[in-house]
Amino acid sequence: MRTAPYRSRLAPARDGFGQVMRAEWTKLRTVPRWGLVLLSAMVLTVLVCVLSVSGSSVHGDGPPVPLGPDGTAVKDTMQFVHERLPGDGGITVRVSGLKGLEAEAPDGGRAGAPPAVNTGRTPGWTKAGVVIKANTKAGSSYVAVIMTYGHGVRMQWDYVHDLAGSATPPSEDRWLRLVREGDVLTGYESADGKEWHRVGSVRPKGLTGTVEAGVFTAAAPNTKVERSFGGTSVAEGPGRATAHFDEPTVEGATGGWQQTSVGSPGPQNAVPAADIASGSFDLRGSGDVGPLPANDDITRQTLSGAMIGLIPLSALGVLFITVEYRRGMIRTTLIASPRRGRVLAAKAIVLGGVTFVAGLIGTLLSFLIGAPLMRRNGHKPPLSPEPALTDGPVLRAVVGTAALLAVVSVLALALGALLRRTAAAITLIVVVLVLPQILISGLPLGAAHALMRATPLAGFAIQDTVTRYDHAPRVCLPEEGCYPQGPWPGFAVLCAYAALGLAIWRLRRRDV
C-alpha cells in the first residue's frame, strides 16, 4: 500500500520585499535610542545653524552699488566714446591690439584707492568693442559686441546675458558692428570689414528712444590667490587694458563724439578730441561690465549645521547592521529572508526614508530660523539675495540637504555591511566626509577643486544657490562654499559612493 508524502501543516515563510521592509522598519522603531539619535541629528543641525548665522554680520552699508535693468547688483565701469542715436542706426569699428596693462597704483597711490595687483597675465574677460547703451548712467541697459582677450568675440547685453561668436584670438584684428532696427539689436563680426557674420539678435526692454552708441574698453579685475593651511589670501585690484579703434562710424548719430568714464567719479584716460576725429585712437579702460557676484550664499549658511548633523546619522546607519552582527541576530534575519541582497536593500530604503524625514525637519527649521537672523545681521539686497522657500534653488538646497543626509546614512550602512565592525565603520565614514573638508582649506586651488569633485564631499554642492555666470570672473574658494561642479553632478558623485553593489556582493559571499 502506497503512502502519501508528508506535508507540513505550517505555512511557508514569506520573504516578499514588503514583508522584509516591514521587518526592518519594526527593528528601527522599536529601539528607543535610535529615535534619540534621529532627534539629536535634528537638534544639532538647527543648533549649529543658529550659532553660525548669529556670528555672521555685516557692518555698514558700504558704497552704493549700481543695479541692472532687472534690479540685480552689477558692475558697470568702462571708458566710453559715444554719440547720440535718436532712432534706427548702427555703429561699426575695427578693433585691434587688445591687451592688459601692468598694474599700477591707482590714482597715484591715493589713500583709499583699490590695491594694485600684478598677476603677470591679462584676464580673459578683458574686453573692447561696440556698445549701444540707454545712457551713461552705471547700470543702464545695453547691448555690446566685443572682442575679449581669452574668449573670442561675444555678444553681451544687460550684464547677465552672453552669446559666443567666433573664437578669434586677441592678436587678430576684428571688425564689429551693432545695428538698431526698432526694438531689435543685431550684432555682426567680420575679418575684413566686407563679409559679415551675424552673432545674434536681442530685444532688450530698456533701449527705447534716444540712446548712446559708441566704443568702449573695460578690464576684468586682476586677482591673486595664495593658499596655505594657515588661511587664504585673495588680493584683487582693478584691471587695466587698452585697445586700438579704427574708423568708428555711427549711422544716424547726432551731436558729435563725447567721452565718458561710466561708473567713475570723473574723466579718466581722456583721448584727445583730435585723435577721435581722425578716426584712429587708443582707448584705455579700467573696471568691468557684468553681474556682481553675491557676497554670500544665505541659504547655504543656514544649512551649515548639516555637516555636524550627519555624524549621528552616520552612526545610526552603521549600527543598523553591525548591531545584528554583534548580537548574532543577522542569522535569524537571513534565515527569514535568504535573499541577502533584498535584506540590505530593504534596510537602505527604511533607513534612507527615516533619515530623510528627520533631515528635512532639521533643514526646514534651520532655514526658517536662520534666514531672518542673517537679514537682521545685515545680509540684505542687493549684495546679498533675499531667499524664499518658494525659490527653485532654495527649495532644491533645503530638500537636497535632507536627501544628502539620507544618502550619507545609506553610505554608512554599506560600510557597516562591508566592515562588520561598528568603531571601524563609523571612523571611516567620518574620515571620508571630514578629512577632505580639512584638506581643501590648505591645498592649491586646482587640487582642492579636484578633491571636491572626486570625494563624497561633492554632495554638498546641492546646497549652492548662488547664480554664477561663465562670463563673470570669480574666484571659487572652497571655504566660501563654492563647488567647481553643479549641484546635481556633485550630488550624483555622493550617490555613486553610496551604491550598495559592493556591500551586497560581500554579504552574499561571506558566511554570517
Residue 179 lies in a domain: yes
Closest CA to 224 of 505, 475, 508: 475
Pair (330, 476) in one structural domain:
yes
Pair (348, 485) in one structural domain:
yes
Pair (319, 363) in one structural domain:
yes
Integer Cα distance of 200 and 156 in angstroms: 10
Pair (79, 39) in one structural domain:
no
pLDDT at 194 over 70: yes
Tell me the one-letter amino acid at 231: G
* pLDDT, tens only, 16-60: 788 888 888 988 988 899 999 999 999 999 999 999 888 776 655
Rounded mean pLDDT of 321-339? 76
pLDDT band at 242 (very low <50, low <70, confident <90, very high): very high
Residue 8 lies in a domain: no
Cell numbers for 204: 532688450
Q: With contact defined as beta carbons under 8 Å apart, do 201 and 184 qualify?
A: yes
pLDDT at 408 over 90: yes
For position 512, what pLDDT does the model report?
55
**Strand residue runs (E) in 125-252:** 127-133, 142-148, 153-157, 161-164, 174-181, 184-190, 196-202, 211-218, 222-228, 231-237, 240-251
Integer Cα distance of 97 and 102 in angstroms: 15
Closest CA to 244 of 171, 164, 187, 179: 171
Rounded mean pLDDT of 414-436? 87
pLDDT at 204 over 80: yes
Least confident stretch, 142-151, 156-165, 301-310, 429-438 = 429-438
**In the chain, what percentage of residues exceed pLDDT 90?**
48
Pair (138, 240) in one structural domain:
yes
In the listed set 272, 291, 310, which residue is the last one of a domain according to the structure? 291
Q: With contact defined as beta carbons under 8 Å apart, do 84 and 255 qualify?
A: yes
Cell numbers for 450: 579636484
Residue 268 lies in a domain: yes
Pair (28, 114) in one structural domain:
no
* pLDDT, tens only, 264-290: 755 566 788 778 888 899 998 888 899
The count of domains in the chain is 2
Cell match 573696471: residue? Answer: 287
- The CATH number of whichever domain residue 257 belongs to comes to 2.60.120.560
User: What domain range is 114 assigned to?
Assistant: 74-291
Residue 10 lies in a domain: no
Residue 65 lies in a domain: no
Pair (323, 353) in one structural domain:
yes
Residue 98 lies in a domain: yes
For position 46, what pLDDT does the model report?
95
Pair (258, 318) in one structural domain:
no
Residue 5 lies in a domain: no
Other C-beta atoms closer than 10 Å to the C-beta of 342 total 16
Neighbour-count burial of 264, counting CB atoms closer than 10 A to its CB (0-12 exposed, 13-18 middle, 19+ buried)? middle
Pair (260, 371) in one structural domain:
no
Q: At what angle do helices 392-419 and 422-439 cross, to 10 degrees?
A: 140
For position 182, what pLDDT does the model report?
92
Pair (304, 333) in one structural domain:
yes
pLDDT band at 111 (very low <50, low <70, confident <90, very high): very low
pLDDT band at 105 (very low <50, low <70, confident <90, very high): very low
Neighbour-count burial of 433, counting CB atoms closer than 10 A to its CB (0-12 exposed, 13-18 middle, 19+ buried)? buried
Pair (301, 171) in one structural domain:
no
Q: Which residue has the higher pLDDT, 125 or 226?
A: 125
Q: With contact defined as beta carbons under 8 Å apart, do 95 and 129 qualify?
A: yes
For position 510, what pLDDT does the model report?
63
* pLDDT, tens only, 454-489: 999 999 999 999 888 888 877 788 877 888 888 999
> DSSP alpha helices (H): ranges in 201-339?
273-278, 298-302, 306-327, 329-336
In the listed set 242, 273, 291, which residue is the last one of a domain according to the structure? 291
For position 109, what pLDDT does the model report?
43
For position 7, what pLDDT does the model report?
42
For position 117, what pLDDT does the model report?
59
Pair (85, 152) in one structural domain:
yes
In the listed set 259, 291, 323, which residue is the last one of a domain according to the structure? 291
